[in-house]
Structure 1
Amino acid sequence: MRAALRNGLLAAALVVGLPACTPAVAPSSYETVGRITAYDASFDALVARDARIERIAEGFQWAEGPLWMRDGGYLLFNDVPGNTMHRWSARDGASVFLQPSGYAGTDLSGLREAGANGMDAEPAGTVLLADSGSRLIARLDPATKQRTTLTASYRGKRFNSPNDVVRRSNGAVFFTDPPYGLKGIDESPLKEQSFNGVYRLDPDGSVHVIEEGLKFPNGIALSPDERTLYVANSDRARPVWMAYSLAADGSVLGKRVIGDASDLIAAGAEGAPDGLAVSADGHLFASAPGGLLVMDSNGKRLGMIETGARVSNAAFGDDGHTLYLTSHTFVARVRVKATGMGFPH
């Protein structure tokens, strides 16, 4: 963390080092990186003061979209510019799982990021894929590595470059569609949509816009009761997290800003709101300028997990108490007291 940020914004924060391993985890040979900062006493119930942030895999261009696969006990994540999906497990380490992960054609002239990005698991063991390079939402079968396109357009126009995706238990799929995958981004001649939207794909195949007013909608997640949809806006001019109240049919009943990272950016922190993970009790673990920001459901800042590099996204894995972080060129993990959604607790 930069000195201006640490001294100006976090004067009252409790900064803790990482001297010891979390008692529940056996010592490992992985390098310890980063630091943990508590802003509020309630943070102690979520992340232990002596938690180790370990770098477990490295050598990527921009790691993204982590997803823990319980059937098999391994982590999937994407190197978006590298157009490659990787697999990691404690037993086997990191390996290439799928290449290309996204666009499989030969004409890369208009693409900035050809690979797939965010992912979410489905009950049948398949994976929902925000395919940035192919500009669509797909279903991936990890066993066969076959992909099925679920939607590629809205009102006859191609999506920009879908970035992140989350599934509601009724089968509805919410996803963000910024233009990051296109060269020129908003100025790309390939861009067909006049806005950068947040969408809902219903089980019947229909697609609905739920937000078209964010410049760069990015990370997306649901609250534990699925009544609130969270969206991160990766716009350094308006770096906010939005909360959308959802009706049973997935339509939006209301929306509000629950967090604003403008002060972090003003203090010199790199990055912007990006990927999101939500714990079983509703806390947000949100990529932010400076690291992974931990907030309550109303956006109150409780603490920060820093890896020493920009954090793009996070996902709970193992027994629900390991948080995996994709952080620029590497992947890290940290044991936490919080429990991921869907894990026993």
Structure 2
Amino acid sequence: MTSQSSTLLCEGFAFPEGLRWHDEQLWISDQTTGTVWTMTEDGAAEPLVNVPGGASGLGWLADADLLVVSMADRRLLRVHAGTGEVAVHADLGNLPGYRLNDMVVATDGQAYVGDFGFDPRALVARFGSSALDGDQVPAAFLARVDPDGSVHLAADGLRFPNGCAITADGRTLIVAETFGRQLTAFDRSETGALSARRPWVTLDARPDGICLDAEGAIWVANAGAAECLRVSAPRAGRSAAVIDRVVTGAPAYSCALGGSDGHTLFLATAQNSPDARTPGRIEIARVDVPAAIST
């Protein structure tokens, strides 16, 4: 396994999350302040929109409208390209859960949105911090939101579904189960339905945000340590395994591959939890394999 250290690109966020490289910019959700930011490759950041419910997952529709997860009110917002007008794209309040989390949007406009499933603070207060790695963690769902805003239950029984990624051919969805300590894969049909649930890899980590590279490997931000791990894709006769590591300056919560050549790994880090309001940072590392390109 190779290892390198990241370098600081920008700081001053509260709790950066939901990193995406899109339209030659890095997009960032600051969960604590609810602000969605755009950032140039050299670290110049500008606020775009504020989400009072707390901003998380980001993605785009075919018409370039931005989708943003509003966590506390359990809605998916749509920011219209050009005008900046914000509207409710979908309301997920009828699904059982606690607070919405990360999201991935497929090239066909279908969005997959995870939910905490429980209040982590309440669970820790009742059972102690070890409960987050035990059987007390309640199951949560992954929802599918179609381009027309209709909401469907895509999968359930997940342990804190977090970062998601869709393979370049659009046929496989991978979700990080933070408190399940694993990546889980599903086959994705032409209608967006998920099936054939299976483990992708089990990790000695708390996987948070993830992103795919051009070799089908997955970079995994480890919310339980100051690192981001690269996990190879499982092949016939070979299991997925950690093959590269980037050491960060603080626990890593999200990652994205991008930059002008696709070889920059952007990392969202913070010293503690969103409630601690400690300064968050965007760190970077140069990697050998560039970002995956969707087909």
Both proteins in one fold, TM over 0.5: yes
Letter in 2 for 1:259: V
CA contact (8 A) 1:86 1:94 kept: yes
Shift of 1:186: 10
Shift of 1:204: 4.0
Unaligned runs of 5+ in 1: 1-12, 18-34, 36-52, 104-113, 188-193, 266-271
Shift of 1:180: 7.0
Query: Could you say which residue in structure 2 is the equivalent of 1:257?
Result: 199
Of 316, 330, 340, the residue aligned with 2:257 is 316
Query: Could you say which residue in structure 1 is the equivalent of 2:245?
Result: 304
Partner deviation per Cα, 1:5-59 (whole Å, 9 max, x = no partner) = xxxxxxxx455x5xxxxxxxxxxxxxxxxx2xxxxxxxxxxxxxxxxx3211112
Cα distance in 1 for partners of 2:267, 2:112 equals: 22
Cα distance in 2 for partners of 1:91, 1:240 equals: 33
Partner deviation per Cα, 1:81-134 (whole Å, 9 max, x = no partner) = 122222322467223333xx322xxxxxxxxxx410111233332222111133
Identity value in percent: 24
Query: Could you say which residue in structure 2 is the equivalent of 1:277?
Result: 211
Query: Could you say which residue in structure 1 is the equivalent of 2:130?
Result: none
Runs (4 or more) in structure 1 with deviation over 6 Å come to 180-183
Query: Could you say which residue in structure 1 is the equivalent of 2:83?
Result: 144
Measured at CA, do residues 196 and 185 of structure 1 come closer, stay the same or move farther in structure 2, by a change above 3 Å?
farther
Shift of 1:336: 2.1
Of 164, 167, 189, the residue aligned with 2:105 is 167
Cα distance in 2 for partners of 1:118, 1:134 equals: 14
Shift of 1:308: 2.4
Of 6, 11, 19, the residue aligned with 1:66 is 19
Cα distance in 1 for partners of 2:144, 2:47 equals: 31
Unaligned runs of 5+ in 2: 126-137, 235-239, 271-279
SS at match of 2:290: coil
Letter in 1 for 2:230: V
Larger radius of gyration: 1
Number of residue pairs matched?
266
Cα distance in 1 for partners of 2:69, 2:119 equals: 11
Cα distance in 1 for partners of 2:71, 2:38 equals: 19
Letter in 1 for 2:220: A
2:61 is the counterpart of 1:122: yes
CA contact (8 A) 1:137 1:162 kept: no
CA contact (8 A) 2:212 2:218 kept: yes
Query: Could you say which residue in structure 2 is the equivalent of 1:216?
Result: 160
Shift of 1:142: 5.1
CA contact (8 A) 2:20 2:26 kept: yes
SS at match of 1:212: strand
Query: Could you say which residue in structure 2 is the equivalent of 1:78?
Result: 29
Shift of 1:77: 0.5
Cα distance in 2 for partners of 1:338, 1:77 equals: 22
Partner deviation per Cα, 1:290-338 (whole Å, 9 max, x = no partner) = 3111012223211111112111111122222222111111001222222
Letter in 2 for 1:160: Y
Measured at CA, do residues 91 and 234 of structure 1 come closer, stay the same or move farther in structure 2, by a change above 3 Å?
closer
Shift of 1:277: 0.6
CA contact (8 A) 2:60 2:109 kept: no
RMSD: 2.7
